[in-house]
Structure 1
């Protein structure tokens, strides 16, 4: 059957053309209005294309030797012949009269001598004629072009079947596109590039059928002229050149091209409307001298006559053709738009095939179906957000979400009606129109947007495919060879023999070889391509060949590897979907099964001496790391019980895949990365597994995958940071317990530092500045905790001096913070990180300076060295406090700066007290102390911090009082005491504001309200302040009681009165109110001057 041979040779045109057939069959249909001859053709539908083949009734049905058509013979006698008025209407055999055979023989000899005798004449045979410049007679759209494959004409291809045509052509007749095979010889040369040659008896005029035959031949082959050679009893009389467009108007051969056009359109519409089922076998039949054409659906009408569906000789060729067309569409660039059509073709192929007899084809069909639901180029990470694929269905038809494609009772009833059409009706313009779309054109593709269901269907097809592949064992093959072949098997063998790989005459056959030694150089002529890309491309080509080349001896390995690869991809998508649904236990289970499938795949590929593509393995490991991380950061934190049930449940598909995996290899495959499927029992194990999965994925990741490398490296850095912080917090928690092991804490410190350093290394590979700074800051925090742990003493034991170990850890912390600050460079790009980092750095410097000041290591360093280092650290801290920061941190920096000024003042005050000689250094220390006291007072007053302000004030007053010890005269001592009082008066403004605050703003925000501890501290310091004022007043009175000319009774009595008042505060009067009044009395006493 020639149409199947053409369709198998040009699968890329199926769906693009309306009809594939021998040109003689097309001519028979178009000549129906003018001919009474019988018509018997088999019609098959593949997608949108109709395949037409002549069906010889005498050869196939009326000869007793054709037993395989027994079912059709019975139908023919019972149905077709019974419906005819006279059996004579049926032409039982081809016309083989003597005169007809003589004419054929004469024409054959004529062609032979025409070519041989005059090779330079007009009648020159051309197997590739030029395009005729004028192809139509009246402007009608007629076009015939040679079918091309790549750059070479297809007719130059070595035929793969026994039905050889001189040429295969794409012929467009009006709006009908046809792929036809033609055997008409074409001559040409000189000014006549293409002509056809016809031999006619001068005694017989050209009738309508002959003229119509010549006209259609020239139109199909795009030949503009025909040369008529007239003979008389075999002797040439003359030649006549006739243009193609003149043939319909010849004498005795007048016909209307418009009628032919109408017949073509009506016949096509009639067939497309009624031959609507892909895979069904239709019989187009018209008896001799009959005026009605009938179409029988033999698949439906003869279903009860066939014991086995494989009894239909068309079943296997149609199924294979459906499969090949679907495979060709799957490889096309716009395959996503054709998913519905591909799905329908493959489903129809499965319905036609007997899975017990054609395991190879059935397995390949299941493989393609699995790839249709979950494409190989699908990015599993996008299944959550992937929009439905663009499909051909979106243009002119509606989707149906149904996987089944069975015939409805209405469809069956319609098929049993055997539609017919009269020949006269075919001549009426637009008599039949193909209304709507046939089942083949509805492009049903189920669950196109439901990825969960698509994965389930794809997995079912993978399981079916694996089952059939593994069922094709050598024992089965031997038993099939020993038993006689059935009819279907014989037909399958015939089909495969017709599709053998043929060598092309002008193409060298590539020799497959491998070097004798593994290090032998191999020349590569192609462009330099990354190795991983080569592997991927080679893999895809190999798999696609295994589908279309059914004679490939390595088909089983290819199909098995493809199905395992598809199973891995499906589990990747299912794990991603489970993550989106927050079913992390199920996601880990899918990852585990995916890893098992990949290990089996790797085993098979390596066994064949090849390298296995690791893209899916990298994805599974990376996804496993993500799942573990999401387990930690769930809404409820790490909850093992919530996901444990999902991780332990096993579906029926999972059980089947495990059983099939055991069949593939004779021994159990060890999973290298089994940790990726482990369900963790605690938080630490979860974090560790996540880090290991990311590290394993990066280890096997090719260098070319830069985007994947960056993503995995960044996640490894993040999880390393989290793991480091986890160990840090664990160590701090254990350290705060009453009883702990130093070795355990030190081990946790070390693990924390190791994880943080690994995270820094990961981010440094990406030059990720903000994350490097953050991890360096965490390293600094770790060093501060270790310093704190090194300084801790047992309860009840006095804190000793600042140790060398503390110094080491604080210096390391400062180093980490400084490194992070240098990396950030400025606050402009990362203000939040910058502010946090500078605060931590200032805190570290301030803490170290405070410890040096409070617990000076005098056993190792001199006092001056310690003081110098403490001052340097405080000055650095002050520099950080003065930098730009967010408004929220401004009060913190302000308080720290005031505290530093206070400590600097105290340090210099202490040095001043310890200085024995009256030299310039002592004066300098005094000046610095007073300067820093003033700075601290201003800042504390600005912040309205009464407690700290008064504390600084009292210490400052203490330094003034210390200076009195070196004074001798009355006036000098009195002036110094007055200086102390004046210093006390600087607090009057703050005291007044403190008294007014509750009355003027009783509902201050919580952050400005004093806590009980603050109020207690403030009252205590104010009481001390009260006593210091009283002591100063008492010192003035004592000074006035000393003998000498300076005695002034009035002044002395005034201070006595004020001192007396300072002692008379009632217990129910707040101390701040009393102090405010007292300071006012002192101020009044000092203003006039004593």
Structure 2
């Protein structure tokens, strides 16, 4: 069939305009917003510097982190300059004809004629900033290298193969589609794609460029002053690496063989898809695993994130581009791009255009080219960006900027008009040496029945989905586009899975396809996990985690099938080779390769085959284990979300999912626990306790990473402790207890091999019924779960978390015993909790437990006759708590401990003051304790307790007045009166309730103790002032209202008594005598209305007194 069948040709109105002075980079037609990226300081190398000298292995390790930031993907090799045309001015658009087993496609519509862009000035674009909300729709998104490929299309006949995706209004230009995107064993698909397998010569030696960057950036003097010319580029010493386990001789041989193969084949490193997604900073995998993964994995590699994200406006098209172009600077040139070129070769048009586009897109004003000859520096050439087209030294530029601008505009508009299907995926292709440029709708290719097209579509979907994370991060200024990209990524992965299912159904599956399906399912789970953040609601988190968990389960199930098939095939192979086919022993020996002279070589080949089989099996098993750990982490996080929403049953099911893959024979053997009946239990536990090394690198994702089955068990036990401490178990308490017993091997069903079998609903119900008595006897599950989680030893970070929770559980257990009035058990658990916190140097929590013990001593002081001993111990514990808080900044805890110490002194003083009146020595001791409490409450600014202390001191001095001499009476009366008045500064303003009334009663009695009419009148006024409390009694608590009703008769009686004394006062002053008639009228009113509400009576009496 003709290749042009179903093709609609587009003829441009303006092929190429020569002689124009317009430039592409203009402030009117183009613009750039640059995300800041620090420039790397470099030094100019001296002439004849030898770039062939590579750094040593140690120097390279030191510089490795820096080189990772500077390594720019090597550009594809350039061809000699070709004539400037696109197939005689026509751009071909190909459908999917019958030659590929597909129905004829509907021709694309032609793109309207593109008008030439307006002439712009020569100036480079100025950097500006646009807020995300003002940012227009993004028209093109992708790597800058891919966009540059479109600009350079007319100037080269090299192969072009790009994937283009429509996401909303945005066209995402994906990277080059090459042989790494298609798995081995599908050469027919490679043939259709016309992918060449020959490795063309590179423009420059990558090692030479790395040496050039190394020498230009590493050996820089440290900055000592502001005028220093250079700054250091990297640290002097590499980070220490963890020690590696000792390997057997066979393992060393196998790894060396894999490493050699990897170096010979120059395979890329292990794809991030085969590593824990949360462990971005983890050390490299061992050579065997990496080599096998890179050589056998049929999946495309995932490119790392861009160094810089550029927002570029090209005419009316907004672009978000990811760039790896590195900025360099020195004292004279603050922002330049640095290139290396062989002086023995001419600068080609495509090379110069590439330099120009790099600078224009990244808004770099200058270009520095280091010229070398056979690796020896010959000098530098520094040019401004606008002068890059004239690098050949001629007055005529290598290319006309306006022509580049015009052709790129036509191509971009053409793609916008023809890649128009919503969520469509397209393939822009041109064969090597061809003029014809074709655009395929890949989805239509997948509709055919041929296996190769379905597989190609699946791989393209997978490839874009794998790179979408980088593109999503690139679109950080367009949140709506980020959301559409995430959804598009999920759709592509779903399409990939469906196509792989169709291939398995229609053509039979293979282990390679199943392994791909497993990896795609994992990526689908990752799309949900990446959407987890602090801003997500609880329902959104639960939905994302449920979806991720289901896809991870699918991935595990498929990969476990691959492992089972692999080992079944391996066993069958070994059985076949072990059989001699019934030959006599002599014939078997004669047929042995050893007797034919090839024994050693053949033996080595067989050993190598066995090693390779071992490596394959080991890798597949490790992949299953990694996925199980990832699934466990997801299920644990889902359980935490359920616990926050008090969905206990759902949380328990998620915990079962998290640890279901654990085998009973892999769990620690059961170990009996001593009863917690003395403090010796905690001392013994702490003596034997330890943690298992430092923690892992901090995760950059929302999930907590898990690295072993032991960690899974410890985390599930921790979650069980959290679940039990919620006090919301109800009918689920036996289920939680059984889960704990299964994880600690106290219950181990003989007919089951894994926890998943035990967690099956029917089997789990039978186990609950069979062990009911044990489960009912299992108490304090939270404390026991945290305790068991610490053995086997966990890492340091988890150790401190578990110890804190263990201490909190001991504290809650003590509170529970305290509520049951079991003071001895409460004391034991409080003391044990304080020891746990002291063991991890948690001063704040240890101090709080000491404060709880001090409070318990005050309770014990009321229970037995050793009051002095208990109060003294309480003071000692509070003092110890203050010492624990010396290095802590927990101001709230410090205030609580100080308050507890003040309360201890106050209660101690009040208890002693009950025996008043006392001798002067005892009075001094009691007053000292009152003053300590008062000063401590003032220190923490507790106004209510300060007022309460003043009231207690006033009451004490009032009781001390009994039986005292006249000389001391006045002093005690004055002290009591002052303390009452200070107490009223708070209770008379803030808390006008029962305490307010009682203080007034006692203060009135203090004044009334005198025979002077003025003091009696003062006592009367004090009682009348209780109207403030009784008039607002409806606002008070029930307890306060009850107390006020109880004391109301005594207040009215006191008023009547004071009025009668005033009427009958023999030695009244002149002012009192003048008001005698008023007092009589008030007395009469109090007698006549004794049954009226007290507030009404007090108001009437106050009105009469004021008249």
TM-score, scaled to structure 1:
0.43
The one of the two structures with greater contact order (alpha-carbon pairs below 8 A, sep at least 6) is 2
The structure number with the bigger radius of gyration is 1
Whichever structure has more helix as a proportion of its residues is 1
